[in-house]
Amino acid sequence: MSPKNDFAFRLLFSDPQCKDVLIDLLNTIIPENIQDLHLLDTHLLCSATQREGILDIRARTDAKVQINVEMQLHNLPAMDKRTLYYWAIMYIDQFLPGQKYHELNKTITINLLDYYLLPVDDLHTCFHVHDSKYDIRLSDALEIHFLELPKVHRYAHSYENKDLINWLKFINARNEEELYMAAETKPPIKKAFETLKAMSRNEENKRLYEAREIFLSDQATRVYAAKEEGRVEGIEEGRKEGIEEGREEERITFARNLISLGMDDEFIMKATGLNKPDLDSLKNTRNSNP
């Protein structure tokens, strides 16, 4: 399994047995010196719009810093706004009735992108809120990272942060040989590699992974064909599949495909991240509209 596949990524880095692996990855990206993590529910609900989102990895550090890690395979036209939206929900979600503003904790979003996003050579960019004239930071509460995987091989031997480049080479590996080479660079990556191999031997994991690969390939083909033919309806179909509306819509479409294949509920929830009420709602809607 490729760790870049978002199903495999969630399976590996949300495994409680691999918490030390996730901590090591995060410490190569952000200067928080994380000692411990608490994995949190990845479902988010915006109370104002009742719009639900599903994150890949959500955690809180021992210093109460909130972190969201996302693997994004498709180039979303509104990736900047989507990122700010989910960051805002996470930031607000920690605010309890009667709480004081100074008790709000730093919230970090980390996006691993399988495409080019920003017009800079560096593969790692980090954004804060600051004054553009005097370069004064307003607060450290907001921190957003983008890591562009297509730039990894360009820096394979010259990047200053060797631990980060080794992790990104592992995540971006194109074959087992590249996975093995990255795994030899440090023990946490080797543990990730061995865990991934063990997960790959599980028949249910293999089915879920292969189903996700097929879905991603089909989706990419539909979007490419729509763009090539210039059909408005094809582009709109791509949006409905989740390219522009966000990952949550994509997972709903994936869940519908698995329902049509007769997969059981546990299988579908594990593959998509949907909860039982959402899955039941999808099934009821499908039954009422055969």
Q: Quote the pLDDT of residue 236.
A: 46
- Tell me the HSE value of 133 on the side-chain side, using a 13 A CA sphere: 0
Give the residue, 226 or 205, on which the prediction is more confident: 205
- pLDDT confidence tier of residue 241, bands split at 50, 70 and 90: very low
**Distance from C-alpha of 166 to C-alpha of 131, rounded to nearest angstrom:** 34
Contacts of residue 178, defined as CB under 8 A and 6 or more positions apart, other chains included, come to: 169
Query: What are the CA-CA distances from residue 103 to residues 34, 94, 138, 141 (Å)?
Result: 20, 9, 16, 11
**Distance from C-alpha of 257 to C-alpha of 228, rounded to nearest angstrom:** 25
pLDDT tens-digit profile of 112-143? 999 999 999 999 999 999 999 999 999 999 99
Is the pLDDT confidence value at 220 over 70? no
Is the pLDDT confidence value at 246 over 60? no
**Mean pLDDT, residues 244-263:** 67
The residue extents of the domains of the chain are 6-201, 227-287
* Burial bucket for residue 60 (CB in 10 Å: 0-12, 13-18, 19+): middle
Tell me how crowded residue 90 is: count the other CB atoms within 10 A of its CB. Answer: 20
pTM equals 0.78
Rg (CA), the chain: 19
- pLDDT confidence tier of residue 215, bands split at 50, 70 and 90: confident
Q: What percent of the chain has pLDDT over 90?
A: 52
Q: Quote the pLDDT of residue 34.
A: 96
Contacts of residue 279, defined as CB under 8 A and 6 or more positions apart, other chains included, come to: 255, 265, 268, 269
DSSP state at residue 45: E
State the chain's mean pLDDT as an integer.
84
Q: Quote the pLDDT of residue 216.
A: 72
Q: Quote the pLDDT of residue 232.
A: 45
Query: What are the CA-CA distances from residue 275 to residues 51, 55, 94, 210, 270 (Å)?
Result: 14, 13, 21, 21, 9
Q: Quote the pLDDT of residue 224.
A: 57
pLDDT tens-digit profile of 56-111? 899 999 999 999 999 998 887 789 999 999 999 999 988 888 889 999 999 999 99
Give the residue, 180 or 247, on which the prediction is more confident: 180
CB 146, CB 111: distance < 8 Å: yes
> Which of 39-43, 157-161, 280-284 is predicted with the least confidence, judged by mean pLDDT?
280-284
pLDDT tens-digit profile of 146-202? 999 999 988 877 888 999 999 999 999 989 999 999 999 999 999 999 999 999 998
pLDDT tens-digit profile of 151-162? 998 887 788 899
> Which of 6-15, 124-133, 198-207, 254-263 is predicted with the least confidence, judged by mean pLDDT?
254-263
**Mean pLDDT, residues 198-224:** 78
SS3 content of the chain, % helix, strand, coil (to 5): 50, 15, 30
Contacts of residue 185, defined as CB under 8 A and 6 or more positions apart, other chains included, come to: 162, 166
Q: Quote the pLDDT of residue 187.
A: 97
Beta bridge partners of 71: 112
Q: Quote the pLDDT of residue 223.
A: 58
Q: Quote the pLDDT of residue 248.
A: 64
